[in-house]
Structures are given as structure tokens and as C-alpha cells.
Structure 1
């Protein structure tokens, strides 16, 4: 056992060495708990800041909605170009916020639309 030869060379009693080692281990546990406490506080602060910006979408099946236009094509109207397109009817809402929409004639759009890209249509 190598630690015994080190103890003999340094003239440290094994009892004192064991006590010092135990205190080191206890302080490591305290540091770990403190770090975990700080990490949880940080996660709560980040979640609170994120959740402040989240807008609830109270959309249901059958609601009229507008779809955001995200075309990167050139539009001569510049900043006056339309930002929303529609109205559409929500046909189906799936888990995770995916929706299937149809136009007013009943023609279903082929791709699913994320609920973040929809806005409630006010008449």
C-alpha cells in the first residue's frame, strides 16, 4: 500500500491523515450541493424569462386563423407587403402544436402548420 509509505516519509499519523481526508470529502459534498442549488436557481430564472415571452394560443378546431407569410422572395411593396395570409379553418390539432388547416372552400393544405405560425382571425 503506497499511501502508508507516503505517511511514513512525511511523518503524518494515519489518524490525522484519515481525518483530513474525511474533511476534504465532506467539503466536496458541500460544494456539489451548493453548485446544484445554483444550477437549479439558474434554470428557474431562465424558464421564468422564457415563459414571460410565450403567448398562449387559444386555438381550437373550427376556428378561423391567418397563416404567416415567410417568403423570402422579392416583393416590390417592400415593408408594406402583407404579413398574413388567409383566412383558414383549423381542421385538426395534433400533439406538439402541429395543425392541419383547410381554406374556406374545404381544400386541405398538404403540409402541417405549426401553431406558432397561426393567428386567430378576428372578424
Structure 2
């Protein structure tokens, strides 16, 4: 969940940066950046965050000034008819969310397939000496000038799926 929040913050920050010059007046443009974020269709879900939360698309300020077909249709109905139509939309929200979940799963499968096409599988025979990569999110990572690799290690055993058991040069697993 934390990664999703960080991704959303990064997107909102980039939207705000495009709207503001020299970091001045960002606080005035921030509500508009949030509106843009909440009303933009996400590729992964095929829906806007506003639709996922509220069950209907947002009415943007431009639609109030220059009425869209949706606004004209809603203004033409009386209050009881509007309430009935809104209730029907709310009743269908679970179905819409299930469609969005299916869309999200298909999107993830496409992304996984695209990633896996670019991955090169490497087979390490038993007894080969290797280095182990240290990634920035690992505990061993100690800053910008820390080494990128650990080792050397010797491949002791090759497991299914390409996983290996490594042994240090002194024989410790």
C-alpha cells in the first residue's frame, strides 16, 4: 500500500510541477492538480479514482459552464427521477468494480508477460563462482558509495526455477 501512495504522490507532484513556475504558488494550484489526478483514467483499471470511490464520474467545472450531454439530461429530469437514476447507478457500482478488477488483472498479466519477455534466464552450473547483487532496498545497502556486489560465492546447488544455493569461499552457506 505504501508503494501505491508513493506512486500517487509522485504523479501529483509532477502534475503540480507542470502547472507552477519556479515552485511559487504551488499551494494555489494544488487543488487543480488533485482534480486532474482524480479525474484521469488509469491505464491499469480503465477507470478514474473518483469513479471507483463515488460510483459516478465527476462533474468538472467546464461542464457547468458549457453543459455536456450528461448534464443536460440530468437537468431535464425531475428530482424523483434523478434520485431513482442515482439509486440505480449505486446499485450497479459493485458490478462496475468487478469489471474494473478484471481489467486490472488483465493489465497485470500483460505487464508481467512484457517483463518476462525481456528477462534473460541464466543457468549457473554447480561449482561456478558468482557475485551477488546488492539492491538499494536491501539491509546490506549502505548509501551511495557502498559496493553494488557481494562475494565471491560458489554455486553449491541449483534448484528448480533457476534458484541457487550459494556458499561463501570458506564453505558457509
* Pairwise same-fold verdict (TM > 0.5): no
Higher share in strand: 1
Q: Which has the larger radius of gyration?
A: 1
Normalising by structure 1, we get a TM-score of 0.41
Normalising by structure 2, we get a TM-score of 0.31
